[in-house]
Amino acid sequence: MLKQIEGSHAVAEAVALCRPEVICAYPISPQTHIVEGLGEMVKSGALAKCEFINVESEFAAMSVAIGASAAGARAYTATASQGLLFMAEAVFNASGLGLPIVMTVANRAIGAPINIWNDHTDALSQRDCGWIQLFAENNQEALDLHIQAFRLGEELSLPVMVCMDGFILTHAYERVDMPTQEQVDAYLPIFEPRQVLDPSEPVSIGAMVGPEAFMEVRYLAHAKQMKALELIPGWADEFRAAFGRDSGGLLHRYRTEDADTVVVALGSVLGTVKDTVDELRRDGQKIGVLGVTCFRPWPLAAVREALAGAKRVVVIEKSLAVGLGGIVSSNVYNSYAGGADAVHAVIAGLGGRAITRASLARMLRDAVAGRLEPLTFLDLDQPLVERALAREREQRRSGPLAEAILRDLGVVAARPG
């Protein structure tokens, strides 16, 4: 059924349709509306046979999910940013134990300096924790990916992180098509755990593994994710057959068939990128867009194939490998047969800075003209940066960096973007 609702509520409704049994979450902007929505549904009885637990920290949230999942219940939680870091130990624990927990990450920057706005630092900080990581392009895909996530996770016995841009998607009202309970029930069977805490068949879960077997255990975790690469496209096909639309899968290609330049990105920025690319296409530029939906496991072969015809690749990412460059870009270098020189890392939108068509168009024209550096920070205020560095050179006690920069910027009016 078509609805015009907030992204968070779309996700809450979709999660509810998946018949979760234990929901445990700790509030953090910008995930709050998701959990509030689910909490209300449980309390009112609209979502039945579900325990909603108000936990005292994100570490507790993931831990409660671990206990619930190990005991055979379908478990869900949501977090962002600092909260994801606070539960990091438990995040690794969940994947190490092979528990199919589903978690929404409402992508947000990580402090210091504290910042509540969107970027991908949080999810990508956990990229190697063993969870499957999926990135939604819009709220339709966000709600669809949650339905797929429970299925994926339970079939593989792996936890799944569904990432959606904080505020940009979570707090945006847009049209979505909400499936029916019947549709979801047909697609998502009852949870049959691979391992379960059950007095009638006692098992010990979580014992120590020493050097004699640890390599093998970790290899198997890797092998399982590689298996996911094989299975995800098939599940996306099944989803299309059941729900009538393309959602999920490993990646989405847009006008890449004859493209000389391909732009690679994750998440909601893809929408703006596509509008920009259409504009440039009208000018005769042969540009295409590759949206990566499944970030972990990294779809190396599929990305390589999608980029095969391109002469140059521009990776736009809301993340930064401090001291190195791009995170997503680093993953792309491995996947592009044409050599690392042709791959440009464009760091953009950190801490919620708006990524505009105008800036993208300018940058892409530079790329096509061979003027784009291997590593660029989009819309960086160069003079501001230079003043900050000069301050530090002149004075040992140069003061807190962020505060000094803000003062330098002057009064910050409530201006959009």
Q: Are 3 and 175 in contact (CB under 8 A)?
A: yes
CB of 77 to another protein, least distance (A): 10
Provide the 8-state DSSP code for 321: B
* Min CB(390)–another protein separation in Å: 29
Structure tokens at 105: 């990450």
Considering only residues 352-381, where is the footprint of another protein by CB under 8 A? 352, 354-358
Q: How far is the CB of 142 from another protein (least distance, A)?
A: 13
Nearest C-alpha neighbor of 189 from the set 154, 156, 224: 154
Binding residue for another protein, selected from 45, 199, 284, 370, defined by CB under 8 A: 199
Q: Select 90 or 162, whichever has its Cβ closest to another protein.
A: 90
Contact letters for another protein, residues 108-147 (x by CB under 8 A): --------xx--------------------x---------
User: 68-87 mask for another protein (x: CB under 8 A)?
Assistant: xxxxxx-x------------
273, 289 contact by CB (below 8 A): yes
Binding residues for another protein restricted to 267-306, rule: CB under 8 A: 268-272, 274-275
Q: Minimum CB separation from another protein for residue 312, in Å?
A: 23
| Among 15, 17, 47, 50, interactor with another protein by CB under 8 A | 50
Binding track, positions 167-196, relative to another protein; x by CB under 8 A: xx--xxxxx---------------------
Cβ–Cβ under 8 Å, residues 2 and 177: yes
Two tokens, residue 401:
């960096």
**Does 199 sit behind a cis peptide bond, omega within 30 degrees of 0 on the bond before it?**
no
Applying CB under 8 A, which part among 66-74, 141-149, 237-245, 394-402 lies near another protein?
66-74
Looking at residues 235 to 274 of the shown chain, list those that interact with another protein (rule: CB under 8 A): 268-272, 274
Per-residue contact flags (x/-) with another protein for residues 5 to 34, judged by CB under 8 A: -x--------------xx-x----xx----
Nearest CA to 98 among 145, 130, 76?
130
- How far CA 280 is from CA of 283, 360, 361, 373, in Å, comes to 5, 10, 7, 20
**Of the candidates 75, 163, 159, which has an alpha carbon nearest to the alpha carbon of residue 118?**
163
Closer to another protein by CB, 59 or 295: give it.
Answer: 59
Q: Which is nearer to another protein, 155 or 278 (CB)?
A: 278
CA distance 15 to 33: 13
CA proximity to 316, closest of 280, 289, 339:
289
